[in-house]
Amino acid sequence: MSEHVITPNAKPADVLIREAHVLDPRTGLDNPADVLVRKGVIAELGEPGSLEAPAGAEVVEGAGRHLFPAFVDPHVHLRTPGQEHKEDLETGTRAAAAGGFCLVVAMPNTDPVIDSAPLLQSLRDTALRDARIPVGFMAAITRGLQGKELTEMAELRHEGALGFTDDGKPVTSAGMLRLALQYQRLCGGVLALHEEDPTLSRDGAMHEGEVSALLGVAGIPSVSESTMVARDAALAGYEGGRVHMQHLSCIESVEAVAAAKERGFRVTCEASPHHLCLTEDDVRGLDTRMKMNPPLRTERDRQALIEGLRSGVIDCIATDHAPHARDEKEVPFEQAPMGTTGLETAFAAVHTELVLPGVLPLGLIVERMTAGAALLDLPTPRIVAGEPADLTLVDLTAEWEVGENGYESRSANCCLAGRRLTGRVNLTIAAGAVAYRTRSLEVVA
Amino acid sequence: MRHLLSVEDLDRETIERICDRATSFAEVADREIKKVPALRGRTVLNLFYEASTRTRSSFELAAKRLSADVVNFSASGSSVEKGESLKDTVLTLAAHKPDAIVIRTPWAGAAAMVAGWTSAAIVNAGDGKHEHPTQALLDVHTLRTRLGSLDDLSIWIVGDVLHSRVARSNIQAFQKMGAHVTVAGPPTLIPRGIETMGCHVRHTLDELGEADVVYALRMQHERMSQSWVPSLREYAAEYQINGRRLGPRQILMHPGPVNRGVELSGEVVDSPQAVILNQVEAGVVVRMAVLYEVLAGARAEEHAPEPSLA
């Protein structure tokens, strides 16, 4: 299935990462080690200081840093085609590499919508030329995201669609989603669902609650999401289909997914770093960078998401990286488009807000930031000899201010702008090639 | 005070200072020449993105009575209709170097945003459903003039609280001045979470008798089409302030314009308890006090001219 991912042609790395603390929660590795990458493949793991760099290999001093399997983001918006003023495949994947990701999956709500095989083929060709790291593509469930007719899902799968989603919009009609679930038996591919009942969210621009009441901004109630999560879990159970619920934001949704999983339904879900780290309180200043869909909710909801991540009800962390141009966000809150960027800050944000205060262990975060691959039937990055090198080297002590040196992304609408975070990606190797390195990283030989 | 953006930013002392100054300006309105030179040579720009007659003319009169120059800019028939963004419009107008911009928009937080784009003093004349601070100040002023103090008053705000910037500013202003506030209205038009602002919530007018002041909100016809209430007839039956519901010692307020026969019956509008015209009158003097405050008050002290070296 990995032919569904576009892997850019890049020079395979020959690198020796020396004495980094290697952590791979799936293999149980959690100790300092030398890791040798030859021709883009993890060639050898050894005791710290034990491996020699072969001729021509670069040596990276990893002491004091952590080496993880690189992250996988099943939910990003790369805005190509049609909105390249916000992001394109090059800038988006560069941002991903800077955030430690070795694979991102782009949503089809572009302009035009990726709802036919020729469009997907053209996009994949562009990715082969422009992407800096492997990238996969989802196709739309319904034509034009209109919710009225199914796309040619089988043909889209043959063309390389990883799965299907109308993300940005819900599949409002239960009957339409049921058809997609039935059709999934023919074509395979997960159905990723943006869960929202538009008759409940209406013209809402933030979480409905204390802060929206004070600000006079129309609210999006939690039940707008959770009722659809419950409905779609029931449909998936009835049809035996497989669905992935995107960007859960509230406690009721976590409960609904937990109930569905208990009944054995094939339901998975994700939470975003911003929903794990921020709440409606951060919207009080009506900073448009804090406007996203689903909205930031209450502290109680945030705690439920953290608990869901811990228990495994929430399978993975996904950024929902949603770039918007400066002038699009420099408007009054109610007029601003929904979305925040997140690829470059994802790990540092959860590390700062959840790992450092002792809320969640580091290993669990690394696991949840790589788990998106399996949900899309893709191989999970692992630090094992013989596997392709998908690695990220992180300095867990480095403090930085978000935005201080700009962004790799074309857009700057990051909800964490100006915050001090701890933990910085120094090096990313994706599909065996060096995709990112900080300029300050010391290269010994 | 640099800007007037919200009641949330104000403390009791500031509210009282503005109202006291409004009282001293009230005397100007009774002169034959209704003008003082306090803001001579200053330019006040009225930037209105929503239709408004009374608020805009009230600001215009206030500025003119202080001898300021006034420019009115309304969104209809302007570059805004040609697709210019708020920021570009503000930057363009700011190039004319206004000293104050009075701004009304249909968007929450827009006035505060504009304050970050220009050096002019910004007065929020209504930002979406968020706040309408000068309305709250003139309402406080009206009550102080009538009753001396708001301490321990029971004030009921009745009607469409969900869509009302007046309600949000007034809940805060009345409470800061020592009053107890109850909001009452159809459950569909009382926003979830409003009680965290410190007010009580009622869905009937059964206990309206406890109010010293009844503040009726305007019921907008367009709310019917979205089914917020089934009909104006039913709304009036449940929530209209009329002779049967309004007691003789209760004061009646309304931000205008009134829908006679909907939120208020004709008889109470014309009753001696109604202070609706006093509110309109207070509008000019309070806005004079606000413009004075941001252009010549504390700000003038902050930006005192450098002593001359010559």
Residues of B in Cβ contact (< 8 Å) with A335: 107
Q: Is A216 on the interface with B (CB under 8 A)?
A: yes
Residues of B in Cβ contact (< 8 Å) with A250: none
Q: Is B107 on the interface with A (CB under 8 A)?
A: yes
pLDDT 10s digit of each residue in chain A, 445 long? 447 899 999 999 999 999 999 999 999 999 999 999 999 999 999 999 999 999 999 999 999 999 999 999 999 999 999 999 999 999 999 999 999 999 999 999 999 999 999 999 999 999 999 999 999 999 999 999 999 999 999 999 999 999 999 999 999 999 999 999 999 999 999 999 999 999 999 999 999 999 999 999 999 999 999 999 999 999 999 999 999 999 999 999 999 999 999 999 999 999 999 999 999 999 999 999 999 999 999 999 999 999 999 999 999 999 999 999 999 999 999 999 999 999 999 999 999 999 999 999 999 999 999 999 999 999 999 999 999 999 999 999 999 999 999 999 999 999 999 999 999 999 999 999 999 998 765 555 4
Q: Is B198 on the interface with A (CB under 8 A)?
A: no
Residues 122-181 of A with CB under 8 A from B: none
Statement: residue B303 has pLDDT above 50: no
The beta strand positions in B154-271, using DSSP E, are 154-158, 180-184, 200-202, 213-216, 251-253
Closest CA to B154 of B195, B182, B184, B177: B182
- Cα–Cα distance for residue pair B119/A181, rounded to 1 Å: 57
Give the helix/strand (H/E) hosting A349: helix A346-350
pLDDT at residue number B52: 85
pLDDT at residue number B54: 87
Residues of A in Cβ contact (< 8 Å) with B108: 215-217, 286, 332-334
pLDDT at residue number B81: 67
The model's confidence at residue B30, banded by pLDDT at 50, 70 and 90, is: confident
Burial class (CB in 10 A: 0-12, 13-18, 19+), B254: buried
Q: Is A186 on the interface with B (CB under 8 A)?
A: no
Contact B109 A215 (CB under 8 A): yes
Contact B109 A221 (CB under 8 A): no
Q: Is B192 on the interface with A (CB under 8 A)?
A: yes
Contact B130 A217 (CB under 8 A): yes
Residues 398-437 of A with CB under 8 A from B: none
The verdict on whether A320 is a catalytic residue reads: yes
Closest CA to B36 of B46, B50, B21: B21
Q: Is A332 on the interface with B (CB under 8 A)?
A: yes
Residues of B in Cβ contact (< 8 Å) with A327: 85, 87
Question: Span B133-279: which CATH code?
Answer: 3.40.50.1370
Residue A273's contacts (CB-CB under 8 Å, 6 or more residues apart) are A317, A319, A342, A345, A346, A349, A350
Q: Is A333 on the interface with B (CB under 8 A)?
A: yes
Residues of A in Cβ contact (< 8 Å) with B112: 286
How far off is chain B from A230, nearest CA to CA, in Å? 23
What is the pTM for the complete model shown? 0.94
- Cα–Cα distance for residue pair A13/A58, rounded to 1 Å: 9
Chain B residue closest to A328 (CA)? B85
Residues of A in Cβ contact (< 8 Å) with B85: 327, 330-331
Nearest CB partner across the interface for A332, out of B110, B192, B193: B110
Q: Is B85 on the interface with A (CB under 8 A)?
A: yes
- Cα–Cα distance for residue pair B40/B60, rounded to 1 Å: 14
Chain B residue closest to A213 (CA)? B194
How far off is chain A from B170, nearest CA to CA, in Å? 12
* Number of helical (H) and strand (E) elements in chain A, helices listed first: 14, 18
Chain B residue closest to A215 (CA)? B130
Give the helix/strand (H/E) hosting A32: strand A29-38
**ipTM > 0.85, yes or no:** yes
Cis preceding linkage at A69, omega within 30:
no
Domain ranges, ordered by start, for chain B:
12-132+283-302, 133-279
| Mutant choice from B9, B86, B88, B107 vs A, greatest count of A C-beta within 10 A | B107
- Cα–Cα distance for residue pair B301/B304, rounded to 1 Å: 5
Nearest CB partner across the interface for B193, out of A210, A285, A333: A210
The model's confidence at residue B28, banded by pLDDT at 50, 70 and 90, is: confident
β-sheet bridge partners, residue B289: none
How far off is chain A from B168, nearest CA to CA, in Å? 7
Closest CA to A8 of A436, A438, A437, A433: A433
| Catalytic residue selected from A34, A130, A320, A390 | A320
Contact B113 A332 (CB under 8 A): yes
Tell which CATH classification among 3.20.20.140, 3.30.420.40, 3.10.20.740, 3.40.50.80 matches the domain A69-375. 3.20.20.140
- Cα–Cα distance for residue pair A413/A399, rounded to 1 Å: 21
Percent pLDDT > 70 in chain B is: 94
* Number of helical (H) and strand (E) elements in chain B, helices listed first: 11, 9
Nearest CB partner across the interface for A334, out of B85, B87, B128: B128
Closest CA to A419 of A368, A351, A358, A370: A351
Q: Is A213 on the interface with B (CB under 8 A)?
A: yes
Contact B130 A334 (CB under 8 A): no
Contact B85 A217 (CB under 8 A): no
The beta strand positions in A402-443, using DSSP E, are 420-430, 433-437
Nearest CB partner across the interface for A213, out of B107, B112, B193: B193
pLDDT at residue number B308: 40
Nearest CB partner across the interface for B128, out of A209, A213, A216: A216
pLDDT at residue number B307: 39
pLDDT at residue number B51: 84
Question: Span A2-67+386-437: which CATH code?
Answer: 2.30.40.10
The size of the A-B interface in CB pairs under 8 A is 70
Check: CB of residue B4 under 8 Å from CB of residue B287: no
- Cα–Cα distance for residue pair A240/A444, rounded to 1 Å: 55
CATH class held by domain B12-132+283-302: alpha beta
How far off is chain A from B9, nearest CA to CA, in Å? 12
Domain ranges, ordered by start, for chain A:
2-67+386-437, 69-375
Please tell me which residue, B89 or A444, carries the higher pLDDT value.
B89
How far off is chain B from A218, nearest CA to CA, in Å? 9
* Amino acid present at A354: L
